[in-house]
Amino acid sequence: MLEQVLFFFARNPLLLLFAVVALGYPISKIRVAGASFGIASILFAGIALGALVMAPGLDPTLKGEISKDMKLVYELGLAVFVYAMGLSISHSFWAAFSREGLRKNAVVFLVMLMSTAFVVLLARVMGFNARYAAGLLTGSFTNMPALAGVIERVKASGASPLELAQPTVASAIAYPIGVLVPMLVIFLSAWVFRVNLQEEADGLKAYQAGHQKLEAWTLRVTRPEAEAMAKRDLCAAGGLRVVFGRVLRNADLLLPGPDFGLRLGDLVTVVGSPDDLAQVEALVGERSHVELDRDQSALDATRVFVSRWDVVGVPVGKLDLVNRFQAIITRVRRGDLWFVPDGDTVLELGDRVRVTTRRDNIEAIEEFFGDSYRAISEVSFLTFAMGLAAGLALGQLPIPLGQGIIFKLGFAGGPLAVALILGRFHRIGSLVWNFPYSANHTVRQFGLVLFAAGIGIISGEGFRAILSRDATVLPLFLGAALLVCFVADSLTMVIGHKGFGIPLNVMFGILAGTHTQPVVLGYANQHAGNDLPNVGFATVYPLATILKIVLAQVLLGLLA
């Protein structure tokens, strides 16, 4: 009976593909001690079902057809995933070149270089070939795009199916260790470095900009020196991230533009984090018991979705809302985060903005921004196809490195490079490259699911053959991954916290970003008791992803 079911799957590869997804996805939601393996569970399910379906007695022609179909599936999934991911992280990637961002990314750069060198040394000592070593690196740092790049290079070298499975096997064995060890290091770090996480977090208000809960205070202007400063000067004085909403002056409600000047006796609504609001209060006067934002007699607040393409990619300051509509954007929600915009903030499709305006302007504001949930759920397949095609073309462009060595960015590097560039510019003329947050997240997940399931099925036969030949492979790679992760994660904490002086709360996020592992980030936030790890994670995630794709392929060349 079982043989008949497996043969049925073999004759229907599309059914096999989604059976793997249906088997692996529920497992990805199981949490043990607060941790789960996410999409990697689909890779494990693909290996298991692939090992059963691609049995030794199966017709070789049928095996070849399955491998051919799954190759197309995982290449499609990989290209879609890395392109959508590149668009989503482009802002963080370019922002990481700030002075503070360079310091955090220097930690990741140094650790990844040293970790790659350590894997090379470990491979020579333990006798691993280049394919196993590259898989060990990608699995220890839980990065599927890097694994995909390795597989593509191995396939291009004319490797056999067994050799093609080797990096996947090593990566699959090492992956759980790459999740558990950084969580253990986070747990031990505060004790090792003798840091009180709560006390450290209380003194790091500057790091929490954009990550604190936003509040709206009504302030009364009582300090004469406040009259000498325009609104923009007040914000610049302390580097404050706040928005002035409405002003009550002599019974008139006003909307302040950038050059608006306060007067004694004014009541003004200010939106921002509690710490920034307290600084504004010290500059202008005192907090009032009047809740001005609740007065809807003349001015009202509305929340609208940004769904019009011609609003995207334009700095908020250039939208000139105060003069055009007597309106001010007081908050922006992107994904799960509310933040205060400034004149340089660029809106993205799917953003939810809170706008204060006159009641009779609300309909015009909704029309201006679009406010269509259906529109933000759609993807512009014209720009998506154009960008992805450009990335795939770039990936196949041969890059000579000298001495006869030719390098290609491939299905992973090409789309990622193009996406980072297009995402930086948002739009070219009428072509908008980014697409809504929700749609991007869905496309990324779908692409990653296809890749994990496809490469898992292809590698199943090799996984079975490798373990049947030598069962010591399993404990050997588990031990090697444990050693690699412990050395790399210890170096990360020492270099970042002791060498660069980065706060431990932020270092937790950098460690999670080095592994590009959201599960570790969730644990870091829970252990720290605050959102400071998010700052480190968002800053280093793009570079860590790109570095692993490149270094895993460099490792292949070093050990070839």
| DSSP code, position 530 | S
Residue 426: its pLDDT value, please? 74
Residue 34: its pLDDT value, please? 54
Nearest Cα neighbor of 207 from 541, 540, 534, 543 is 534
Distance CA 356, CA 254 (A): 11
Average pLDDT of the chain is: 79
Whether 103 shows a pLDDT value over 80: the answer reads: yes
| DSSP code, position 469 | H
Quick one: angle between helices 410-425 and 60-95, nearest 10? 30
End-to-end Cα distance, the chain: 44
Q: How confident is the model at residue 211 (pLDDT cuts 50, 70, 90)?
A: very low
Residue 251: its pLDDT value, please? 72
Whether 210 shows a pLDDT value over 50: the answer reads: no
319 and 311 Cβ atoms separated by less than 8 Å? yes
Name, in order, each residue with C-beta under 8 angstroms of 416's C-beta and a sequence gap of 6 or more. 82, 83, 85, 86, 145, 391, 409, 545, 546, 549
Distance CA 77, CA 445 (A): 9
Whether 350 shows a pLDDT value over 60: the answer reads: yes
For domain 205-372, which architecture applies? 2-Layer Sandwich (3.30)
Distance CA 91, CA 77 (A): 23
Q: How confident is the model at residue 95 (pLDDT cuts 50, 70, 90)?
A: low
67 and 459 Cβ atoms separated by less than 8 Å? no
Q: How confident is the model at residue 36 (pLDDT cuts 50, 70, 90)?
A: low
Whether 113 shows a pLDDT value over 80: the answer reads: yes
Residue 137: its pLDDT value, please? 92
442 and 85 Cβ atoms separated by less than 8 Å? no
